[in-house]
Amino acid sequence: MLSLVFKSIIRIWPMSLKTIFLDRDGVINHEVGYLHKIEDFQFINGVFEACLQFQSLNFQIVVISNQSGISRGYYSESDFHKVNNWMLDQFKRQGINILDVFFCPHGPKDGCDCRKPKPGMLFQAKQKHGIDMSRSWMIGDTETDMIAANAAGINDTILVRSGHDIDAKNSSAKYILNSIKEAQSIISH
Ligand SMILES: [Zn+2]
């Protein structure tokens, strides 16, 4: 009987991952427009301490990023991976494990399902990792992040001012903060 209970718990466990979804440009690093070089990548102040706190609260961290610069021919997918691997390494050095990174290489006219505000990448993440969207958060710097999150069943959304200019009055975000650093005071469990 007891082993049956344990088996059920183990079966349910992967389905209950709570996750903080992060947009990349403007949330993790300063927005420079079609960033594709490591030397242009500057972490926003407080990213590491915020992520360490999310981790201590047993959240997974997943990055969800539109990278239309690939479709536009501004940089290649391998350029993206170089920057991405470097970024993941910097997180690792701070003791932070990023569970996964999803990126959309398409442009606005490609008609894909993954480019935010479409929720495709969030659904991919949910399916791949068994994420419980009702216990998850999205932190982004544009309204498209908020729309994608809501469409994927994430109600807890944070719009940050550290990237693109925001339209606070017309935002559907649950919270509006200066940067990810302040998310530590909002996300407590
Ligand atoms: Zn796409």
CA 68 to centroid of ligand 1, rounded, Å: 8
125 C-alpha to ligand 1 centroid (Å): 14
How many angstroms is it from 49 CA to the middle of ligand 1?
31
Instruction: List the structure tokens of 41.
Output: 């990548």
End-to-end CA distance of the chain: 31
Q: Which residues lie closer than 8 Å to 78 by C-beta, 6 or more apart?
A: none
In this prediction, residue 151 carries a pLDDT of: 98
**Quick one: average pLDDT of 140-154?**
98
Alpha carbon of 79 to ligand 1 centroid (Å): 17
What is the pLDDT averaged over residues 148-169? 95
C-alpha dihedral, 120 to 61 to 24 to 129, nearest 10°? -20
What would the pLDDT profile of 56-98 be if each residue is shown by its tens digit? 999 999 999 999 999 999 999 999 999 999 999 999 999 999 9
Return the H-helix or E-strand segment holding 92. helix 77-93
> What does the pLDDT read at residue 189?
86
Cα of 65 to ligand 1 centre, how many Å? 10
Tell me, yes or no, if 25 is annotated catalytic: yes
1 or 105, which is more confident: 105
For residue 123, the CA-to-ligand 1 centroid distance in Å is 13
- Specify the residue for token string 């569970």: 99
